[in-house]
């Protein structure tokens, strides 16, 4: 499965921070925001990526992420000239997707806890898989309604009167039919290609799977100044408490088997002296001592 990271948009809700750098390049505690969705996909077994952003921000992403080979992955880049909906990313990355299934993840979504994503990726065969997360303010999101048997029966985009408290987070898994679905779509009244309309089409076809994320999973949307601060505080608390980093692509690549221990050690040694390197050096020493099993 190939992976698209959508890191475009104007970032207006984070003004004036986004006058300096893209929203997805802002720090969430000790790492750029884009590291977190990238790590989710690496931990789920994705090795080929297409990052989509604005023409002015793409050079900064290239400088940060390079071609991805340092993590045993590959990263291509595509321009989003103007933001016209999440589903637009599918069309922008069409030549990258080719004939393969694809996952799309939003660059400002941060997840922690559980194994829902690696499991879902490993089990995926066809159709579409999306996720549902219980929130107190569902009117801000795409909302999924379930029947008494737990089966998804409707999807709505930012409804004034939500039919449930289950929001759809920004991770979507699709088979290759998604290309034809998006090509045939018309923009919504907002002038956007809505990702909810893509999911509705899979629901209409009877090939949509909705997986509820458990209470053990945290989902943070870092799209505003307050939520960005809250996300940083959350990550700092978890890392300090557990002694493990969130959103660390080097660690995910090592555990997934994308990097050998020798490659991992070489990568760590190439980093400047900092807390991030110290963490990875300690991890390298631990792996050398007790070994590691690839995912």
Are 101 and 63 part of one and the same domain? yes
pLDDT at 68: 98
Residues of the chain with pLDDT under 70: 293-295
Domain shared by 117 and 237, yes or no: yes
Range of the domain at 175: 2-246
Q: Which helix (H) or strand (E) is 210 found in, with range?
A: strand 208-212
Q: Do residues 125 and 82 share a domain?
A: yes
Residue 13: its pLDDT value, please? 81
Find the CATH number of the domain harbouring 197. 3.90.550.10
Mark out the alpha helices in 29-98 (DSSP H runs). 35-43, 58-65, 88-92, 94-97
Specify whether 232 is located in the same domain as 285: no
pLDDT of residue 293: 59
- 91 within domain boundaries: yes
> In degrees to the nearest 10, what's the CA dihedral of 121, 123, 126, 129?
-60
71 vs 258: CA distance, rounded Å: 7
- C-alpha 214/C-alpha 211 separation (Å) is 9
3-state SS, residue 17:
helix
- Domain co-membership, 192 together with 288: no
Whether 198 contacts 185, CB under 8 Å: yes
Q: Are residues 189 and 264 in the same domain?
A: no
- Based on the fold, state whether residues 209 and 272 are members of the same structural domain: no
Place of tokens 């795409």: 142
Does residue 184 sit in the same domain as residue 282? no
User: Strand (E) positions, 56-190?
Assistant: 74-79, 102-106, 109-112, 128-134, 142-146, 152-157, 166-167, 171-174
Residue 252 domain-assigned (yes or no): no
Query: Looking at the 3D structure of the chain, how many domains does it have?
Result: 2
Short-list 103, 119, 123, CA closest to 41: 103
């Amino acid at each position: 499965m190939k992976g698209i990271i959508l890191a475009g948009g104007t970032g207006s809700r984070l003004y004036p921070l986004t006058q300096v750098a893209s929203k997805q390049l802002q720090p969430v505690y000790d790492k750029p925001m884009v590291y977190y969705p990238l790590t989710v996909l690496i931990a789920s077994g994705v090795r080929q990526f297409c990052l989509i952003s604005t023409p002015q921000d793409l050079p900064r992403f290239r400088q940060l992420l390079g071609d991805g080979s340092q993590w045993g992955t590959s990263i291509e880049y595509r321009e989003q000239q103007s933001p016209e909906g999440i589903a637009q990313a599918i069309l922008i990355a069409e030549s990258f997707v080719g004939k393969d299934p694809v996952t799309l993840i939003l660059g400002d979504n941060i997840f922690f806890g559980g194994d829902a994503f690696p499991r879902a990726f490993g089990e995926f065969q066809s159709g579409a898989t999306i996720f549902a997360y219980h929130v107190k303010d569902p009117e801000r999101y795409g909302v999924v309604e379930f029947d008494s048997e737990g089966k998804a029966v409707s999807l709505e985009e930012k409804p004034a009167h939500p039919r449930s408290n289950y929001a759809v987070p920004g991770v979507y898994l699709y088979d290759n039919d998604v290309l034809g679905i998006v090509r045939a779509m018309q923009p919504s009244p907002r002038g956007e290609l809505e990702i909810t309309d893509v999911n509705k089409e899979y629901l209409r076809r009877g090939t949509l799977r909705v997986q509820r994320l458990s209470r053990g999973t945290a989902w943070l949307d870092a799209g505003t100044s307050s939520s960005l601060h809250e996300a940083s505080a959350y990550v700092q608390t978890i890392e300090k408490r557990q002694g493990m980093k969130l959103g660390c692509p080097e660690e995910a690549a090592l555990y997934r088997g994308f990097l050998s221990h020798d490659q991992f050690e070489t990568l760590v040694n190439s980093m400047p002296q900092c807390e991030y390197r110290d963490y990875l050096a300690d991890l390298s020493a631990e792996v050398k001592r007790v070994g590691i099993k690839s995912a």
